[in-house]
Chain A
């Protein structure tokens, strides 16, 4: 197996490492789902993964294409209805972490997955919020995984689909939201965490081979760097092997 890895593999591995064995995680589809299952298959075998289709403590052998593939139900401890999932389990405060992706993000980790341009005359109509608006405030904390780029990391969002730390970084407290919001943003170049004073997402760790210039070039605002920026640990052989295995099984299963 090649130990050379892609930026995308680095991103998924770094995202997986953020999860803990005792987390109860509300999993978004796509990149979050890959990271969450990589965590489960490596350092966090007892993590509880929950998908909004109602599947609780699911252990899929292949990554689901949709949020409600049969694989999720077949390998779950139990499956509840969708109203129950959102009322008792999410709003009930049972989730330690929500793992989200998005189309666009700003410096306070607010997310847009709704629309580019004017809402009523959109340039691009995106899928919409789905579970994200309530995941963002009802989970104890939020992790976000997104590849960097100027179209994705924007200075001002055209639409706030789910709240990070709010337009100025102060809105969570002002609105009486007790949960922490986005505590980590994992990208293909680096890891951001909120500045403890301003809540602005700040680079705390740079992936091996990536540079500050690259991060600045791929960010729609001028990103802040922490005083002490670490280098992210490169993926190890086991992390890469498990990730590639599940992606290969997934590709074979979906025939895509």
Chain B
């Protein structure tokens, strides 16, 4: 059964130096509050996995949490570069960052293989492109029935998976609706998990019998952090703060302005700082 913890205790218990950590949320439901807590607790040498690293890993990498990034698209969506990730790759600041680069299709398949307890994922992909030349993890298998060659990548089996969901009930069952990305797969593929939620309620109130629900016994820790996905969003609660993503370009461009922003908005703050973004549950 899931344990109900506060965010600091959940990170302390679940996330250790050197861990392989996946924090997912495909534009929607990105666990920013959890990322900030990991930064505050100064975790080091993490291998970070995420399809779209975007601002959350820009912040964690800029603050020195990571030694390696496994990803498939690393930018500020619709805005431009993730400057802190670029600074790490191009100038080794604040630390060198090893890259393991995939395509979206390969990573989505690799998470699914992890959830399915398979050693690798297989796809009709990476055809005629250069990534396999620089990523030795991309290999091939021959179909035993047709002889077709297909690409393979290792299954993703993180030490820790972290997601943000809409809500949990009092037993710790967790609900996701809207764009659900690969969060279900990440939770089922990970050894330990933290799920932050907008609220904890008596009745999950799923809008469909096919909504994504993770049973309590598949989840490690459940933490209520209202607004915890900001500047990403939570379906039915608050919308994506696109102006924040645009403003981040300037904040993150220089090391000094980045460090000042992190000091003011992360190091000196706690999860309560996200409450202002929660906005109350919208009628949806």
Contact = CB atoms under 8 A, between A and B. Distances in A.
A70 B178 contact: yes
Contact of B130 (A83, A126, A159, A177): A159
Interface residues of A, number: 56
A35 to B, nearest CB: 15
Interface string B73-85: 1110111011001
B131 interface: yes
B105 A131 contact: yes
A160 B131 CA distance: 8
Interface stretch (A59-67, A214-222, A227-235, A236-244): A59-67
Contacts of A90: 105
A70 B105 contact: no
Given A127-B75, A134-B123, A163 B185 contact: no
Contact of A81 (B72, B85, B181): B181
Contacts of A54: 26, 179-181
A12 to B, nearest CB: 16
A177 B127 CA distance: 8
B124 A129 contact: no
A163 B127 contact: yes
Given A29-B78, A82-B26, A130-B104, A137 B128 contact: yes
Interface in B79-102: 79, 81-82, 85-86, 89-90, 101
Contact of B28 (A70, A124, A137, A162): A70
B112 interface: yes
Nearest to A134: B105
Interface stretch (B196-204, B241-249, B254-262): B241-249
Given A65-B77, A79-B179, A86 B104 contact: yes
A253 interface: yes
Interface stretch (B162-170, B232-240, B268-276): B232-240
Contact of A67 (B27, B82, B101, B246): B27
Given A130-B104, A160-B129, A81 B240 contact: no
B77 A91 contact: no
B279 interface: no
A227 B125 CA distance: 36
B181 A82 contact: yes
Contacts of B73: 127-131
Contacts, number: 182
Contacts of B127: 133, 137, 163, 175, 177
Contact of B129 (A30, A79, A133, A256): A133
A114 interface: yes
Interface residues of B, number: 53
A137 B124 CA distance: 9
Contacts of A91: 105, 123-125
Contacts of A126: 75
Nearest to A165: B128
A130 B103 contact: yes
A171 interface: yes
B104 A131 contact: yes
Interface in A52-76: 52-55, 64-70, 72-73
A129 B73 CA distance: 6
A75 to B, nearest CB: 12
Nearest to B78: A65
A133 B103 contact: yes
Nearest to A177: B127
A72 B77 CA distance: 15
Interface centre among B72, B73, B109 (most CB of A within 10 A): B73
A87 B131 CA distance: 20
A132 interface: yes
A64 B27 CA distance: 11
A182 interface: no
B126 interface: yes
Contacts of A255: 242-243, 246
A69 B128 contact: no
A133 B125 contact: yes
A30 B72 CA distance: 18
A79 B178 CA distance: 7
18 contacts: A53-B27, A66-B77, A66-B242, A70-B239, A81-B185, A81-B212, A90-B105, A114-B131, A125-B86, A125-B89, A129-B72, A129-B73, A131-B103, A136-B129, A160-B129, A177-B127, A253-B242, A254-B243
Interface of A: 29-30, 52-55, 64-70, 72-73, 79, 81-83, 85-87, 90-91, 114, 119-120, 122, 124-134, 136-138, 159-163, 166, 171-172, 175, 177, 253-256
Given A53-B181, A86-B105, 14 more contacts: A53-B27, A65-B78, A66-B27, A66-B240, A69-B242, A72-B179, A73-B179, A81-B184, A86-B109, A137-B128, A172-B128, A177-B127, A253-B242, A256-B242
